[in-house]
Structure 1
Amino acid sequence: MRSWACRAVPRAGSGHAADPLKFDVIGLLARHPKMAQRFLSYKGWLLQRGELPLRLRELAILRVAHSRRSAFFWGEHVKVAGDGGVSAGDIERLAAGNAGFDGADLVVLRATDELLNHGRAEPSTWRQLTDTLGTHQAMELIFVVGTYAMLAMAFDSWRLPPPAGSAALPKHNATDGTETTQRTGAD
């Protein structure tokens, strides 16, 4: 079954070519309909049919957003994370590092940091992931982190602003091991 986004891509943003800031996400992706349809299908499966629990997925996405300084994804996923049981306190702690997290949350955050900083999870981290989550969920985590890191780069390159009313991206904490030079999308 095709998602509404995949059906909308050929129509969204047609006739507009100049300024990415005038587009929403679908409008931007509509500039390359074949790629957009395939990408949205993949991303839809990952988010809606994958086995990784919503809470863990959203912790990873928020860490990517914070690390890559993606105001767009931070604003969007603070809302979604609440639906997955991520509290305001969890979000505040996540922006400051890994203190206060344990169990699967901590393993996911450590793995996310390693993936973002080194492009891989260390063997000991991979073992912890598979022991804690199982192979399928551990594999999905790598794809979630990679997908959102890629999207953060794309949206930053296109200067896509965060949706109106989104949660503000917190100040960057260099002690959390996620120091980057990425822009917020607002510059």
Structure 2
Amino acid sequence: MPNDTANTANAKIDPAVLARAAARDADVQGKPRRIEPLAEDAFTEEMQVINTDMKKAAGIPPNGYMPEFFAIMLRHPKLFRAHSDLAMVLMGAPLLPVRDRELAVLRIGWLAQAPYEWNAHVDMARRMTNITTEEIERTIIGSSAPGWSAHDAAVLRAVEEMIADAMITDATWAILTKTFDDAQMLEFPILVGQYLGVAFLQNSIRARLMPGHVGLSAR
């Protein structure tokens, strides 16, 4: 996956990076989905409870609406239950600060060129943290963009390192451990793996965007 860290002198995004994102949006959203969602009349009470719990963890009021991605996942109920259990730890009862989690997931979503994940977490970052529009733009450039604190840059750089080389370097680890304790350092790589896997799945099945979402152009 590309590391979009070019043209960082003035935190400007390379137009080629934005063109690639537009092409990915068209590729994922412009073709038919590969798996149909489970029909609403097949939803069990347990499935509805999972839906409500996941929304609560994401800061979304329960409204009975089953996102299409969830309804597709429900074709494999055991997998969705396991997936939601881990998601509830990472979103509903995280040890990592929510701001750090959302910065990491935004970087994952951009590097994976994942329209669904990116847009969903742009919304979550706005709803649940103090991450600004300008900072969302900077996550596109990555850890080398000017303006980050040492800690924020290390969070983004750790994501980049794990995606590029499957591990965090000593230098980045040393910065993170100034703020994170051992339990948080255990949670962080699992967070990255979880959301990278979700990006792979959503892109591969061509998951339709949530109502009102625009994909990788969201800010």
**Percent of residue pairs identical:** 29
Give the TM-score taking structure 2 as reference length.
0.66
**Runs of 5+ consecutive residues of structure 2 not aligned to the other structure:** 1-43, 52-66
1:43 maps to 2:87: yes
- What amino acid does structure 2 have at the position aligned with 1:8? M
Q: Distance in 2 between matches of 1:6 and 1:37?
A: 13
Quick one: which amino acid aligns to residue 92 of structure 1? E
After superposition, the Cα gap between the structure-2 partners of 1:27 and 1:10, relative to the gap in structure 1 and judged at 3 Å, is farther
TM-score, scaled to structure 1: 0.76
Residues 70, 156 of structure 1: 8 Å contact kept: yes
> Given the superposition, is the C-alpha separation of residues 58 and 35 from structure 1 closer, same or farther in structure 2, using an over 3 Å criterion?
same
Moved >6 Å (runs of 4+): 9-12
The superposition leaves residues 74-119 of structure 1 with CA deviations (integer Å, 9 ceiling, x where unpaired) of: 1101011112111111001111233211132111011011011111
| Alignment-derived partner of residue 96 in structure 1 | 141
Please, which moves more after superposition, 46-55 or 98-107? 98-107
Per the alignment, residue 25 of structure 1 pairs with 69
Q: State the shift of 1:10 in Å.
A: 10
Show the 5 A alignment for 1:67-82.
Answer: 67-82=111-126
Task: Give 1:55's aligned amino acid.
Answer: R
**Aligned counterparts, 1:26-175, within 5 A:** 26-82=70-126, 83-98=128-143, 99=145, 100-170=147-217
Query: Aligned in 2, Cα 1:168/1:7: closer, same or farther, shift over 3 Å?
Result: same
- Distance in 2 between residues matched to 1:155 and 1:39, nearest whole Å: 13
| Cα drift, residue 120 of structure 1 | 0.9
Q: 1:89 and 1:45 mapped to 2: Cα distance? A: 29
Letter in 2 for 1:52: L
Match of 1:18 in 2: none
| Distance in 1 between residues matched to 2:119 and 2:179, nearest whole Å | 29
Alpha-carbon RMSD across the aligned residues, in angstroms, is 2.4
Counterpart in the other structure of 1:19: none
Q: Alpha-carbon deviation of 1:128?
A: 2.0
For the pair 1:8 / 2:47, whether they are aligned, the reply is yes
Structure with the larger RCO, 1 or 2 (CA within 8 Å, 6+ apart): 2
Contact 1:10 1:33 in 2 (8 A): no
Gaps of 5+ in 1: 13-22, 172-187
Residues 94 and 6 (structure 1 numbering): CA distance in 2 closer, same or farther, change over 3 Å?
Answer: farther
Number of paired residues? 157
Retained in 2: the 8 A contact 1:74–1:169?
yes
Aligned to 1:183: none
